[in-house]
Structure 1
């Protein structure tokens, strides 16, 4: 089977899923797309010139099904009923590639349930945000227990990625993604705290960002997020506060489950949870406004 004859289903056409599916369409695979929002499915399918399906069961003929969804519980619900039976009549040998930011323990459990039906699960969460989803340069962290499944998954994700890191067994990609987003969240929270203190002391916020980006305090957040979204007060990075909080909680719970003392992760999770409780489903950059006292 070459890449042009691969039949690929893509589930989840949100901020990340739509540009990711666009890159798959450009690669020329046989693509079917699905979203719980039927209007979104029709719009994206029409834009890409691919098949849009109204029922996930229509993906049963696909060789590979990619998911890009908010939580691992939702990923599981696409494929399995509450009693563990298959919701979609998948063929034995089908590969499911979950590119969501999922809970690694839930991913392992879902993988075991699917394996009972001969379906192979690969976790392949991504990093890079909407801009890198659009230009096909995402960093992908891939965990798998089945080498053949991983090899097929790698062929499918290649048009969406700049680099694929094989992290180990099933669930390790999700663990790496959660830990990465904890580090990113910590950098965002620390940069916010510094900007709030600096502004109070009389420093110009944009000048502070310029200096951080030319100094040892530089991070992805300071380089790509703070100037256009915090200093400019746009708060529209495309990554929501509920999602980053979820990922940091996963990292915290992972460390708790291993019996580790993780004071930094605990503090970062608490800070984001406080902002989420106050602000709800806003862009994650708006947490800066809450921490600065603007929204209280």
Structure 2
């Protein structure tokens, strides 16, 4: 099913040779899961190869997201299906970006049922791009075995690094692992950083653990600056000169905690739980992530209390809001840094 119609604009950056010359029909690509990340990825896939491939087939549990994408791009670019069976039957390559382990398990079991009812007669590739807790090699071997028990079917894991704005701008980093030929096919749709075999999900968690730990340290440092009277803006100005945590520092300093346009706090808690599980299994303590987890839980508790009282500013919190826990511990307002510290600066 290799296809010379796939001329990626970033082909020179793809770490695989070009797939050999094609069969008769162009690839049919599908996408399952139009959440805060998946919507942008599906949109960019659809538009990048609009003139080269058939309309992208999309499925989402709530059909409103699918209809929104259809309205944005038009029927010449997107086709909406109402069942996972249709997605499996009609597509050659299917990308999935799902919310959690339960969703991945449920969706892939449905995929397996569809494959059993209509065994493929040509190569079919499933590309899983979620951040999930199936972190061991055996977990993914089981999922790979489930799919590859059907003829011509292959499975590739490709967890992604980056927030929704990165998905919007097509600047995500992708760790890809799995069958080599399948990765060659997928590589001309996605320009990945290739991960080690069966370890791409672990690499994703390690990366998120690093960001989470830095966010925790950043939150504590900005809070100390505010409480000391130096001011969080002064600390942030220093930060801009010494390292790259500027984006999250900007959110914290300016109380930009709207999770609907960032990385949602619940997603951070989910990742923290996965990372702590990995840490425990490997006997490798990660106190910064433990502290970040505690801060995320604290921020969510404060936000839920505001929801009950009807005083919340945002329906969903960004994970940078973990600074709320540091602020409260220092006697400051959790989500509004404009409310004074009571400290008089002497400069």
Q: TM-score, normalised to structure 2's length?
A: 0.75
Is residue 283 of structure 1 aligned with residue 318 of structure 2? Answer: yes
**Map 1:149-160 → 2, pairs under 5 A:** 149-158=182-191
Shift of 1:85: 4.9
2:71 pairs with 1:46 = yes
**Structure-1 separation of matches of 2:249 and 2:39:** 25
Give 1:71's match in structure 2, choosing from 91, 95, 100: 100
Which of 103-112 and 48-57 deviates more? 103-112
Could you say if the C-alpha distance between residues 261 and 200 of structure 1 is closer, same or farther in structure 2, counting changes exceeding 3 Å? closer
Q: Structure 1 residues 121, 264: CA separation in 2 closer, same or farther (over 3 Å shift)?
A: same
SS in 2 for 1:95: strand
Q: Write out aligned runs for 1:9-24 (5 A).
A: 9-24=30-45
Which residue does the alignment assign to 1:100? 130
Counterpart contact for 1:63–1:94, Cα < 8 Å: yes
Partner residue in 1 for 2:246: 223
* 1:205 has 2:232 as partner: yes
Cα separation, 2, equivalents of 1:207 and 1:90: 62
SS in structure 1 at match of 2:156: strand
Write the distance in 2 (CA, Å) between the matches of 1:249 and 1:11. 25
Task: Please list every run of 5 or more consecutive structure 1 residues that lacks an aligned counterpart in the other structure.
Answer: 159-163
Aligned partners of 2:263, 2:140: CA distance in 1, in Å? 22
Indicate conservation of the 8 Å contact 1:245/1:269, yes or no. Answer: yes
Secondary structure in 1 aligned to 2:255? coil
CA contact (8 A) 1:79 1:87 kept: no
Distance in 2 (CA, whole Å) between partners of 1:193 and 1:150 is 41
1:194 corresponds to 2:221: yes
Q: Distance in 2 between matches of 1:262 and 1:283?
A: 22
Q: Is the 8 A contact 2:276 2:290 kept in 1?
A: yes
Question: When the two structures are aligned, how many residues end up with a matched partner?
Answer: 282
What residue number does 1:142 align with?
Answer: 176
- Please report how far the alpha carbon of residue 195 of structure 1 lies from its aligned counterpart in structure 2 after TM superposition: 0.8
CA RMSD between the two structures: 2.3
Where structure 2 has 5 or more consecutive residues not aligned to the other structure, the ranges are 7-25, 305-315, 336-347
Helix, strand or coil: the match of 1:206?
helix
- Alpha-carbon deviation of 1:278? 4.5
Give the Cα–Cα distance (whole angstroms) in 1 for the partners of residues 145 and 298 of structure 2.
35
Query: Any residues of structure 2 matched to 1:147-186 within 5 Å, and which?
Result: 147-158=180-191, 164-170=192-198, 172-186=199-213
1:166-192 deviation line (CA, Å, top 9, x unaligned): 11222x111111110011011111100
1:32-65 deviation digits (Å, cap 9, x = unpaired): 1111111111111231221011111111221110
State the shift of 1:232 in Å.
1.6
